[in-house]
Homo-oligomer: A and B are copies of this chain.
C-alpha cells in the first residue's frame, strides 16, 4: 500500500510516517521503481500500530526503540521491558504530583482577585511580584526551583 493509505489506517499523517522512518523507528519502505513512491506491507502496519500505542502511553522514541528491539528477540529476558514500564509509571506519577502542587498554587493565586476591577488593585499581580518561598525542606544553597527534567510532556 502507499503511504497515504497506511497513514489513514493508523490514523496519523504521512509526514509522521516519513519522520518515523528518518528517526529509525520504522524500517525504510521499499520504493516503487517507476515513481519512487514508498510501498508498505502488513508488517509496517503492525509496527506502526505498536509505535503509536507506545506514543499514546507517552513513551519516548528511545524507549520505543528498546521495546521494538525486544519484540524481535523472542528468547531474550523481558526484565528490561518490565523495568522500562515501571520507570515510566514513576515518571507519570511524578509529573502528576508536580501538577497537583501547581494546581494548588494557581487556585491560591486565583483567590487573591475576586472583587477588584483594576489591575492596580489586583491581588494576583501583587502576589506574582514576590519570589516563591518554599514552604519547608528548602534547599540551603540557593533557591533554584529545579526544572524537573520531566519527559512526560505531551499526550
Contacts and interface: CB of A to CB of B under 8 A. Distances in A.
A88 interface: yes
A106 interface: yes
Contacts of A58: 102
A155 B147 contact: yes
B144 A102 contact: no
A73 to B, nearest CB: 6
Contact of A53 (B71, B82, B132, B155): B132
A125 interface: yes
Contacts of A116: 78
A58 B128 CA distance: 13
Given A50-B129, A103-B92, A106-B85, A122 B57 contact: no
Interface string A94-110: 01101110110111011
A98 B70 CA distance: 28
A33 interface: no
A88 B70 CA distance: 40
A25 interface: no
B82 A11 contact: no
Contacts of A96: 96, 99-100, 103
28 contacts: A8-B142, A11-B144, A49-B130, A52-B145, A53-B132, A56-B145, A57-B102, A67-B125, A67-B128, A70-B122, A70-B125, A71-B125, A74-B118, A74-B120, A75-B119, A77-B117, A77-B119, A78-B121, A85-B109, A86-B110, A92-B102, A96-B96, A96-B99, A99-B152, A102-B155, A145-B155, A147-B154, A147-B155
